[in-house]
Chains A and B, each alone.
Chain A
């Protein structure tokens, strides 16, 4: 049994892993894990991953979660091109610097609109206007820092070539974009960066990966999003309560 990846393309971290594996021609078996169908809390899945999150890699007996760790593992295991995770000391440090900041300022922030606009309403919960505004302000601040500190005059984040940092950033930003938030309005530098990353990855691959999340609003309008089963309500309520 080769490499297995348990992924739900609605989830930002899963998209990063999927794109990376496909772009680098890494052979894997896709095991679709759909969060909304309660897969997250199924016994079988919990055994596989005590952390109760998606983005799982299974390589023989070796199981790994956390997209950052998975991407680094895949780049080493499959000896992908150096630019993804540069071997040069300072260039690599810059990737880790971005990933650290990303964990604090991007993760959890750019995923909120999906919860407030789609997932919470699915179970009849309304997130307060105050929290929505607070999230908008947090996203605006993060985008400014992304542009000033990490993009600057570079073509990509702290680099002239695409790295894991660009992948991680783009897949998070796609979430609110899919819901109609024009993140790049008034930010031509970031818009150009996004185009460059997508051009590098290839339009087909991007469409394939971002398809499900870009369709989500349509699905909600057509009521084709399956209602979450009751057993995942507690998990969803917990996630909603964590919105600052």
Chain B
């Protein structure tokens, strides 16, 4: 029994793992868990990951969740090139610092933009109050600025001249609003150039293949949405009010 990865590429965290595994030719079985159909709440999936989150890695009886943990695990287990997670203490610490910071500073606001711009209006028929939406977008802008000043600076990639896990995680998160036709790269030429470099380092085919489901989100027929997921989205709308 080989490596199984439980994924839905709608999730940025899943895309990071998918891109990394494919780029490094790590053989795995892609187990699709459809978030929009609520399959992450299914009995079968709960047995694999009781926290009902994606992505998950399964290797025989060993099950691991959390994308950063999975990325580190794959790095070591498959002895991927050292630039992904450099051995130098200071450079590695910078990657760790970014990966810790991005949870609240990048992942949350970027995913919220997708909810606000696309999913909530599409599913509930209601718009999030303009003031809250503005607040969210301001937060995104602030995070992008901090990213540029603190992590990217004048370098080609976050750690210097080579792509690392930090760049992959950063980019897939920043792509999330694209699913709702909101492009966060427009404000900063520096970040837009970095985005291109990361895409090329990954390989454009792989990059866009990984983002295909996200980019087609607008075409999705939301009448097939799982009622439990719909309920959760309505709850989310309440939090924004």
| A220–B89 alpha-carbon span in the complex (Å) | 42
Q: Is the interface of B mostly helix, strand, loop or mixed?
A: helix
Partner of A69, one of B67, B73, B96, B150: B96
With an 8 A cutoff between CB atoms, is B44 at the interface?
A: no
Q: With a CB–CB cut-off of 8 A, which chain A residues contact B149?
A: 50
B100→A68 contact, CB < 8 A: yes
A108→B104 contact, CB < 8 A: yes
Taking CB atoms and an 8 Å cut-off, the chain A residues in 192-244 that contact chain B are 241, 244
Q: Is the interface of A mostly helix, strand, loop or mixed?
A: helix
Closest to A89 in B: B76
A-B contacts at CB below 8 angstroms, number = 83
Q: How far is the CB of B58 from chain A (nearest CB, A)?
A: 13
Taking CB atoms and an 8 Å cut-off, the chain B residues in 70-111 that contact chain A are 70, 72-73, 76-77, 89-90, 92-94, 96-97, 99-101, 103-104
With an 8 A cutoff between CB atoms, is A90 at the interface?
A: yes
Q: How far is the CB of B153 from chain A (nearest CB, A)?
A: 10
With an 8 A cutoff between CB atoms, is B217 at the interface?
A: no
Q: How far is the CB of A168 from chain B (nearest CB, A)?
A: 10
Q: With a CB–CB cut-off of 8 A, which chain B residues contact A134?
A: 239
Closest to A73 in B: B93
Q: With a CB–CB cut-off of 8 A, which chain A residues contact B150?
A: 50-51
| A97–B90 alpha-carbon span in the complex (Å) | 22
With an 8 A cutoff between CB atoms, is A107 at the interface?
A: yes
With an 8 A cutoff between CB atoms, is A104 at the interface?
A: yes
| A108–B76 alpha-carbon span in the complex (Å) | 31
Partner of B96, one of A66, A93, A97: A66
Q: With a CB–CB cut-off of 8 A, which chain A residues contact B135?
A: 241
Q: With a CB–CB cut-off of 8 A, which chain B residues contact A89?
A: 73, 76-77
A51-B101, A92-B72, A244-B239 are contacts. A97–B66 as well, Cβ < 8 Å? Answer: yes
A76-B89, A108-B104, A244-B239 are contacts. A101–B62 as well, Cβ < 8 Å? Answer: no
B89→A73 contact, CB < 8 A: yes
| A189–B77 alpha-carbon span in the complex (Å) | 33
A64→B93 contact, CB < 8 A: yes
Q: How far is the CB of B91 from chain A (nearest CB, A)?
A: 10
B50→A96 contact, CB < 8 A: no
Partner of B101, one of A66, A93, A101: A66
Q: What is the number of residues of chain B that contact chain A, defined by CB distance less than 8 Å?
A: 31
| A219–B70 alpha-carbon span in the complex (Å) | 44
With an 8 A cutoff between CB atoms, is A145 at the interface?
A: yes
| A228–B66 alpha-carbon span in the complex (Å) | 38
Partner of B69, one of A76, A93, A104: A93
Q: What is the number of residues of chain A that contact chain B, defined by CB distance less than 8 Å?
A: 33
A96→B89 contact, CB < 8 A: no
B51→A145 contact, CB < 8 A: yes
Taking CB atoms and an 8 Å cut-off, the chain B residues in 101-146 that contact chain A are 101, 103-104, 135, 146
With an 8 A cutoff between CB atoms, is B35 at the interface?
A: no
| A96–B94 alpha-carbon span in the complex (Å) | 16
With an 8 A cutoff between CB atoms, is B184 at the interface?
A: no
With an 8 A cutoff between CB atoms, is A77 at the interface?
A: yes
A97→B100 contact, CB < 8 A: no
Closest to A101 in B: B66
Taking CB atoms and an 8 Å cut-off, the chain B residues in 163-182 that contact chain A are none
| A66–B64 alpha-carbon span in the complex (Å) | 23
| A107–B150 alpha-carbon span in the complex (Å) | 22
A103→B73 contact, CB < 8 A: no
Closest 8 CB pairs of A and B: A100-B66, A96-B69, A69-B96, A66-B100, A103-B103, A69-B97, A97-B69, A68-B100
Given contacts A64-B97, A93-B69, 19 further A-B contacts (CB under 8 A): A50-B146, A51-B101, A64-B94, A65-B97, A66-B96, A66-B97, A66-B101, A68-B100, A69-B96, A73-B93, A77-B89, A89-B76, A96-B72, A96-B73, A97-B66, A99-B66, A100-B68, A101-B65, A149-B50
Interface residues of B (CB under 8 A from A): 50-51, 62, 64-70, 72-73, 76-77, 89-90, 92-94, 96-97, 99-101, 103-104, 135, 146, 149-150, 239
> What are 28 pairs between A and B in contact, CB < 8 Å?
A50-B150, A51-B146, A62-B93, A64-B97, A66-B97, A66-B101, A67-B100, A69-B94, A69-B96, A72-B93, A73-B96, A77-B89, A89-B73, A89-B76, A93-B72, A93-B73, A94-B64, A94-B69, A97-B69, A100-B66, A100-B68, A101-B51, A101-B66, A107-B103, A107-B104, A145-B51, A148-B50, A244-B239
